[in-house]
Amino acid sequence: MPDNNSIAIIGYSGHSFVVLDAAKQMGLDVAYYCERNQVSINPFDINYLGDEGSESFNWNVVDQFILGIGDNKIRQRVADLILSKKKKILNVVHPSSIISNYAIIGTGNFIAANVTVNALAKIADNCILNTGCIVEHECIIESGVHIAPGTVLAGNVTVGENSFIGANSVVKQGVKIGSGIIVGAGSVVIKDIPDNEIWVGNPAKKIK
């Protein structure tokens, strides 16, 4: 029978498996997944709820959702849809992560294994802080951002909405990164980046 205390995950492939693993380790009861079609491989043995984007989707089954979507823009769009239905989006925080008591964390975020978020950092909504990344003191991460595995943000870094910082990148203290940015894997960012650009390299330079 439907249980409104249960949780559904949006997305059921790739990134969502990492989110689900962390959710299970938190003790969350993730009973359903939402996808366009029912999948043939079901590693977490959870039930198919349907396509949240379809008109026939039954929003009455559960009231709580977690986001298993890697793409920033799609994740934001789905989060807006869930909230428009007056449903709750939960944070998933891996038990091995270290989160300062003085950090501010919004909703709909995924904080993966071995992540560190230090004092006075602010994480908005629907972000991914992926495996082993470090968000230092007083950083500001705006909504819909993905900080990829192994990335280091030094103190007082700002990352604008829907930006992606590639794996093993380093961002110098005090740097401001705009919205809609892509920083390539392994880059070293030493100066501010305006909106909607792609930067790569050491030191990072604009390529588009």
Reported as a single tens digit per residue, the pLDDT across 167-202 is 999 999 999 999 999 999 999 999 999 999 999 999
Amino acid making up residue 65: F
Rounded CA separation 11/113 (Å): 20
Of 15, 94, 137, 146, the catalytic one is 137
Rounded CA separation 128/71 (Å): 10
Q: Using 50, 70 and 90 to split pLDDT, how confident is the model at 155?
A: very high
Q: Is the pLDDT of residue 126 over 80?
A: yes
Q: Give CATH 3.40.50.20 domain extents, the chain.
A: 7-90
Q: Is the pLDDT of residue 5 over 90?
A: no
Q: What is the pLDDT of residue 4?
A: 52
Active site residue 15: no
Query: What topology is assigned to 91-196 in CATH?
Result: UDP N-Acetylglucosamine Acyltransferase; domain 1 (2.160.10)
Q: What is the pLDDT of residue 208?
A: 63
List the CATH code of the domain at 7-90.
3.40.50.20
Q: Give CATH 2.160.10.10 domain extents, the chain.
A: 91-196
Kindly report the pTM of this predicted structure.
Answer: 0.95
